[in-house]
Structure 1
């Protein structure tokens, strides 16, 4: 009897070989399935060998080189794959809908951020869409700021980041980035390669008196008048950089694309044959085959003791709905509804209402990304000189939800238990009003037992009430006036106040 290895020995022998074992298993699958899953296998290989180990030792995450390689594929898919592009547009629209409001900033700063050049580089809708797309394909963004003018100078593409200068005690903490770019100041035909280290806004004090930092054995100058704002998505403790939003959706989007292409090929093949001719003898089959082979055009006649039966696939197409699970995985990876991703409100189990609104998980995910954007905005605003700035997005709610929210606030106001200021602030947040101003002094407060009747107030001042219902012989509440009309200026709430005052 041979000695069987223990569970621990078996795991140890296969530790770090997940991609290899999966590849061995795929050899036993149908060749067509194995070919379709090649994209997923390649991703798993990259993860297993380059940046994610299975032995429990966490690495620095995706390296800068890995990030650039994946970025190239994702940027290509963003142009060529409709579902990857659709997902990016949906998430960007969700996040930036309604814009963002900045508070507690000076007039000078507001003028700067509303200028055309700053809106194009950072604060405008186009810049915000580009920011999300960078997170979608690159895993983060880099913005270059000018310390002299205190304005954003440019959005730096990932390809221009060559290296990172990190904290020796914390590898995930980057103090400065080495930027490499082509300087075309001498003309397009004569570009000049330039390099410089730029410290981040968070660790700008770490620059000290440094003038150069070595790279590849050579000193490279440190920019004294510039700063970099860096921000990453999908980070983990110990990681230097983030991971692109679309990274785990890429392989599945390719599989879904292949499914649709294969379905189109099958539909074309099925459309070529509509009927099947059956004969009673071998000779009849040969004659029929000859007749069909020599027939040209439409409207031909079939002669003989033959049966012409339609195929089961006649008039039918490929079952594209069977690939709904693949589309759902792509939608889940991107963080959108499969209904919105496929532009198909007729999806099984869906409804018109679900196609028009965002579900709660999607809304919470969007709110999280809005907070990420707001935090980056606050870093920029503080660098521009604002002491305690605020950045708030308009609520991500539908018109129906807005109406319900306002109605709920109105009910709270009618109880008489709340002051006007907090309720006004809440309404301003819902409607996107930046500076609502003070609550008017003559606002009509709810009648909660404290308001004195206008008639009694007028009487105390020597005036007379014009309410004929209070006069002798006049019609009161529930009485007829003789002319088919009720009381002129009676308010049922006034009766309650009068009764309370009398008691």
Structure 2
């Protein structure tokens, strides 16, 4: 039974009503067809299809062409589909919105080398901030993990000074990975197929050619360095570090990939629902009577210019409003499709839709549950390990360069034959990487907790100030702390008078005049 029959229009023979009946029935058929498609999609991943077939499909998806198509499709959805776009933006916000604090020992207290200056110079370099370490770069790379599943960082170090620049490569251009034959987790080389554009010196004409280049994996330093692999050059001066998520084999898969079929289905469901509502809105009245009288009544009804008008009809014609109860399709019935999108992106559906639903409360849509917090914390740990590895390389280059700011040497492990750069003396290269809480804690609560901890007398003043600055949302904490420490790394209390500084210096056996000059 069609929708119009359920509305009581079974006996109507008006051509317009017949046309609308066909439109509504067609929409119902599309909704049923869409539901059948979802059922087939679910069945395609069921066990009765066979694990061997599923494995074969997975192998086909990992070809370079399949990875390129998947990444391009995810990129399109990240722009055009509202839910995928919002989901990726939420993930980037949860991971990076609060920033990250990175600090290394400055050597002031121990009198050793200033490793922190090397780290901060790398992080604060304008080119590095634009490509990797800045806020915009963080969001861009997190979204790239959402669409491509991989981020490739390439590092260029000055052979004299050791200063390192970092840039990123397009994951679509990376087509192959060579690993240790005896250890698949140890990557040796990355292959890049891309188009290189050059500008002629005389004619300023742009020419493009296809090019293939191999890049060594960061940390891969074999004794013998081949200049070419399979006839293509190896760029030994540009090691690459890969960040990958949802890995299948050697390569990663974007977070949004699993959401694509459900995002498409949810969009089609809403489009069909909107069409059906529009069709129902066009049917407002049921007109009964003789044909000639009905035509006169229809003309009178069409002549109404606004709501609340009066239609003059023949006594033999009857006009009544078409009941809409039971004729509408609730848009909330498509919520399970949105739930699948949210599950693929690791978000609660209430957060993804910014809507608690018909039975929920607004606070539900604004609260992050424990599983989501753990997933976002896990992604932060991925970036923590990334920064540790890259900054370790930065410190190594500062030691190995002849004019580098750090001094040290190289030690070779007798078993693994791997090189390890060691700083001279007792210098420490331990990195402290601090993330803010994902859940927003009131500032007054954080400050009170820090104040109470400081009142115990067990917390160093410098650490208390660091915690307070973090609680207040200050980003460049290390720069502020440097202004409140002397050359020996001691904390300078801003509320301390000059007399107190001189007395403390005298008690330590130092020259009070020099202490006052430092203050």
State the TM-score, normalizing by the size of structure 1. Answer: 0.69
Note if contact 2:127-2:165 (Cα within 8 Å) is conserved in structure 1: no
Instruction: Return the match for 2:198 from 185, 194, 198.
Output: 185
Whole-Å separation in 2 of the counterparts to 1:42 and 1:412: 57
Residue aligned with 1:144, SS: strand
CA contact (8 A) 1:271 1:315 kept: no
Aligned to 1:289, the other structure's residue is in SS state: helix
Aligned counterpart, 2:236: 224
Q: Does 1:128 align with 2:138?
A: yes
CA contact (8 A) 1:62 1:243 kept: no
Cα 1:32–1:52 change in 2 (3 A) is closer
Structure 1 position 381, deviation (Å): 1.1
- The reply to whether residue 328 of structure 1 matches residue 323 of structure 2 is no
Note closer, same or farther for the CA distance 1:124–1:48 as it changes in structure 2 (3 Å cut). farther
Q: Give 1:290's match in structure 2, choosing from 283, 292, 295.
A: 295
Correspondence 1:398 to 2:443: no
Deviations 1:390-428 (A, max 9, x none): 33222223243x4334444545566x4854567666555
Q: Give the stretch that moved more between structures: 350-359 or 362-371.
A: 350-359
Residue by residue over 1:248-291, the C-alpha shift from the partner in whole angstroms, topping out at 9 and shown as x without a partner, is: 1111111110111011001101101122234xxxxx34344323
- Structural mapping, 1:339-354, within 5 Å: 339-344=350-355, 347-354=357-364
Q: Relative to structure 1, is the Cα distance of residues 255 and 50 closer, same or farther in structure 2, using a 3 angstrom cutoff?
A: farther
Whole-angstrom distance in 2 between the partners of 1:288 and 1:385: 92
Moved more, 377-386 or 303-312: 303-312
Mapped contact 2:156–2:237 kept (Cα < 8 A): yes
User: Residues 124 and 325 from structure 1, CA distance in 2 versus in 1: closer, same or farther, beyond 3 angstroms?
Assistant: same
Cα distance in 1, alignment partners of residues 491 and 439 from structure 2: 25
Q: CA RMSD of the aligned region, Å?
A: 3.6
CA distance in 2, matches of 1:412, 1:392: 19
Distance 1:353 1:62 in 2: 42
- Cα distance in structure 2, aligned partners of 1:212 and 1:240: 22
Decide which of 239, 259, 262 is 2:269's aligned counterpart: 259
C-alpha deviation, 1:140, in angstroms: 1.0
How far apart, in 2, do the equivalents of 1:334 and 1:157 lie? 22
Hey, what's the Cα distance between the residues in 1 that align with 2:494 and 2:166?
49
- For 1:207 and 1:265, locate their aligned partners in 2 and report how far apart those are by CA, in whole Å: 68
Kept in 1: contact 2:153–2:241 (CA 8 A):
yes
Query: What pairs up with 1:290-329 in 2 under 5 angstroms?
Result: 290-295=295-300, 296-298=302-304, 299=309, 300-313=311-324, 318-329=329-340
Matched residue SS, 1:240: coil
Post-superposition offset of 1:166: 2.0
* Closer/same/farther in 2, CA of residues 311 and 418 from structure 1, 3 Å limit: farther
Say whether 1:170 aligns with 2:192.
Answer: no
Cα deviation for residue 50 of structure 1 reads 9.7
Task: Give structure 2 stretches of 5+ with no counterpart.
Answer: 1-30, 105-114, 397-428, 485-489, 497-519
Task: Pick closer, same or farther for the CA change 1:30–1:273 going to 2, 3 Å.
Answer: closer
Q: Deviations over 1:433-473 (max 9, x none)?
A: 634566778999xxxxxxxxxxxxxxxxxxxxxxxxxxxxx
**Residue in 2 aligned with 1:53?**
55
Q: Is the 8 A contact 2:71 2:172 kept in 1?
A: no
Q: Distance in 2 between matches of 1:207 and 1:259?
A: 60
Give the TM-score of the pair, scaled to structure 2.
Answer: 0.67
1:191-210 → structure 2 map (5 Å cutoff): 191-202=208-219, 204-206=220-222, 208-210=224-226
SS, match of residue 184 in structure 1? strand
Structure 1 unaligned blocks of 5 or more:
1-28, 279-283, 445-503
Tell me: CA distance 1:385–1:420, structure 2 relative to 1, closer, same or farther (3 Å).
closer
Which of 242, 245, 257 is the matching residue for 1:233?
A: 245
Q: Do the aligned partners of 1:199 and 1:207 also contact (CA within 8 Å) in 2?
A: no
User: Structure 1: how far apart are the matches of 2:73 and 2:82?
Assistant: 14
The range that moved more, 404-413 or 135-144, is: 404-413
1:322-369, Cα deviation, whole Å (9 max, x unpaired): 21221122112112232332233x523433333334232222211111
Q: What SS does structure 2 have at the residue aligned with 1:341?
A: helix
Instruction: Please name the residue that 1:143 is paired with.
Output: 153
Helix, strand or coil at the partner of 2:191: strand
User: Which one is further off, 347-356 or 59-68?
Assistant: 59-68
- Counterpart residue number, 2:28: none
Q: Say if 2:367 is the partner of 1:365.
A: no
Q: Per-residue CA shift, 1:79-117, capped at 9, x if unaligned?
A: 221111111111111111121111014324423321221
For the Cα contact (< 8 Å) 1:51–1:60, is it kept in 2? no
Q: How many pairs align?
A: 398
Is the contact between residue 70 and residue 247 of structure 1 (CA under 8 Å) also seen in structure 2? yes
Residues 262-277 of structure 1 correspond to what in structure 2 (within 5 A)?
262-277=272-287
Between the aligned partners of 1:321 and 1:53, the Cα distance in structure 2 is: 36
Greater RCO (CA < 8 Å, at least 6 residues apart): 2
1:356 aligns with 2:366: yes
Q: Secondary structure at the match of 1:205?
A: coil
The equivalent residue for 1:479 is: none
